[in-house]
């Protein structure tokens, strides 16, 4: 019994290590895009990634065939959505780094662009994850795309209710 537990723990550790080796790079890139930090100086993105992968580690045995990458990404997105309102909004904290690709966008726009275009999540899934209507996700995505491709026009005017809905 004891031996079986030990071998199960070892197998679990091996599996998790393989998962992290495969997923950490891509997830860290996504997190760095979300927090709008420079690629070589991203403490907040690293913290976000650590928390979401630790969460995945904690529920590794209860995944039951669910995709761990999906789970980690969901946790990352909702955690960012919750934290964005408190940490990265106003107050002069967390100004986007000029070297960041998505620095011109608001946190919610970054979240939707990263989910939809970088991660390739379907519109309906992204909307369900963030608790927004599908049309709103499409609108925000289009506006963010326009802001990114035509930076000379300046950022689009803020729409009322552009806050991140906690979900």
Partner 1 sequence: MNRPEREAAVRRIMERTPPQVPPELYGEIVRRGGRMLRRRRAARRLMWLLLWVGVVAFTVWALMAHPWVEPPSETTPPLTGW
Find the binding residues for partner 1 in span 87-116 (CB under 8 A).
Answer: 99, 101-102, 113-114
Residue 24 in the binding site for partner 1 (CB under 8 A): yes
Q: Do the beta carbons of residue 164 and residue 105 sit within 8 Å? A: no
CB closer to partner 1, 47 vs 160: 47
Q: Which residue from 117, 104, 100, 125 is spatially nearest to 44, judged by alpha carbons?
A: 100
Pick the stretch among 46-54, 79-87, 89-97, 124-132 that binds partner 1 (CB under 8 A). 46-54
Pick the stretch among 86-94, 126-134, 144-152, 155-163 that binds partner 1 (CB under 8 A). 144-152
Among 3, 40, 90, 160, binds partner 1 (CB under 8 A): 40
Among 46, 87, 125, 139, binds partner 1 (CB under 8 A): 46
- Using a 10 angstrom Cβ sphere, with 0-12 exposed, 13-18 middle and 19 or more buried, the burial of residue 47 is middle
Nearest-Å Rg of the Cα atoms of the chain is 18
Q: Which residue from 106, 103, 29, 137 is spatially nearest to 73, judged by alpha carbons?
A: 29
Least separation in angstroms between CB 55 and partner 1: 7
3-state secondary structure of 11: helix
CB closer to partner 1, 85 vs 118: 118
Pick the stretch among 17-25, 80-88, 90-98, 129-137 that binds partner 1 (CB under 8 A). 17-25
Q: Rounded distance, CA 160 to CA 167, Å?
A: 19
Residues with Cβ within 8 Å of 32's Cβ and at least 6 positions away in sequence, in order, are 39, 42, 45, 100
Please give the residue ranges that form the binding site for partner 1 (CB under 8 A): 13, 16-17, 20, 24-25, 28-29, 32-33, 39-40, 42, 45-46, 49-51, 53-58, 99, 101-102, 113-114, 117-118, 145-146, 148-149
């Amino acid at each position: 019994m004891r031996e079986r537990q030990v071998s199960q723990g070892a197998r679990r550790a091996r599996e998790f290590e393989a998962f992290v080796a495969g997923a950490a790079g891509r997830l860290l890139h996504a997190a760095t895009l979300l927090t709008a930090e420079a690629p070589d100086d991203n403490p907040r993105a690293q913290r976000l990634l650590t928390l979401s992968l630790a969460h995945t580690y904690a529920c590794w045995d209860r995944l039951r065939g669910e995709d761990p990458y999906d789970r980690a990404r969901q946790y990352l997105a909702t955690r960012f959505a919750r934290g964005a309102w408190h940490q990265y909004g106003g107050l002069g904290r967390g100004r986007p780094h000029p070297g960041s690709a998505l620095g011109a966008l608001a946190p919610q726009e970054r979240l939707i662009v990263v989910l939809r275009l970088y991660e390739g999540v379907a519109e309906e899934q992204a909307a369900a994850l963030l608790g927004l209507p599908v049309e709103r996700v499409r609108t925000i995505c289009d506006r963010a795309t326009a802001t990114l491709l035509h930076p000379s026009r300046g950022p689009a005017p803020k729409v009322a209710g552009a806050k991140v809905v906690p979900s």
